[in-house]
Chain A
Amino acid sequence: MDNKIIEKIKNSQIKMKPKWRFALKSFLLVVLSLLLLFLLLFLVSFILRFGLFISFRVFPWMILLFVIGFVVLLEFLISRYAAAYRRPVIYSVIAIIVIIFLAGGVMNMLRFHEMIERRNLPMIRRMYDGPTIHPIMHPMMQPIRKNIKFEINGRERL
């Protein structure tokens, strides 16, 4: 068998993939994992900052699906590494949850969401319309709400 294989290699029927391709793949995996981690942190810190009630009003139920989906995806990405697959899946899932809740808390202490809101970024500014509502906009006040219009910085609020 070794002669057959060496013959195939020498006849250039089989080519070794260059090292840079594997390095690029590893780099992209790390970038993707960090991106997912950041998205998770963003969503979880948003929930911690504004509470579940407001979060569900901003993205109804989708937020929970996003968080679960991102945790599963992140778990899938890290399960390629020995440190993750040698231990039961529940350990790495718990580690991810603990890390994102701790880091999410730190982000809130650093007033991350207030900073984002001040920047008024077009993509996500609608997310912050919900949290800044006046108490009168609580669903319990629904009948009154129909007659009230809030406008802040030229934008209509919920």
Chain B
Amino acid sequence: MVTNKDKEQKDEDIVLGVQSGKIDSFGLLVQRYEERIKRYGRKFLAGYEDIEDIVQQVFLKAYINIQSFDASRKFSSWLYRIAHNEFINAIRKKKKEPLPFFNPDIIFPHPLSKETADKRVREEDVNKIVDKCLDKLDPKYREIIVLYYFEEMRYKEIADILHIPVSTVGVRIKRAKNIMNQFIKNYG
């Protein structure tokens, strides 16, 4: 039974409870993240079927591996990392889009553009345009755009989810924007 006290708890404290046997508390984590993971899946895997099943698989994997979660870290990043792996597996299985085995943009450093609050607010205005262009992007750019614009994550959080350097996050966002700008110029 989930109580009001449970609802005020931090994710990491709930995980500690689940790890020590409070299985019902896991339902609370599912409630908190179901919509967010579904939105991430729908945007990233636009045009794919069975998104509900994949999202369910994400939560089942999270439960199976919950003992590996270190409560001193952020639960949301850990869960999104599982979701990222499941979504990538889904793309590989369907073979609709090519996925590179290795990305050279993680090898060398790139100058990092500063993230500021007002910049993000201004960028929120373009969400609708971004939404229209998403399917024109390769998966590696599409995913980063979804995490940055729709999940409103910081560069460091995105780096932790995708296991790529923080500077690469900035570069991919910039390249994705250029591709979208080009698309808007060409097709209005």
Contacts and interface: CB of A to CB of B under 8 A. Distances in A.
A17 B65 contact: yes
Nearest to B164: A85
B165 A85 contact: yes
Nearest to A93: B107
A2 B2 CA distance: 12
Given A79-B163, A85-B164, A19 B67 contact: yes
B30 A17 contact: no
Interface residues of B, number: 34
Nearest to B109: A88
A67 B26 CA distance: 46
Interface in B14-58: 19, 23-24, 26-28, 30-31, 34, 52, 55-56
A77 to B, nearest CB: 13
Q: Is the interface of A mostly helix, strand, loop or mixed?
A: helix
Contacts of B30: 1-2, 5-6
Given A1-B59, A14-B63, A16-B63, 18 more contacts: A1-B30, A1-B34, A5-B56, A5-B59, A5-B63, A6-B30, A8-B60, A14-B60, A16-B64, A82-B160, A85-B163, A85-B164, A85-B165, A87-B165, A88-B106, A88-B110, A89-B107, A90-B107
For the complex of A and B, the 10 pairs showing the least CB-CB separation, nearest first, are A2-B30, A2-B27, A22-B68, A19-B67, A85-B163, A88-B109, A89-B107, A6-B27, A88-B165, A2-B31
Interface of B: 19, 23-24, 26-28, 30-31, 34, 52, 55-56, 59-60, 63-68, 106-110, 156, 159-160, 163-168
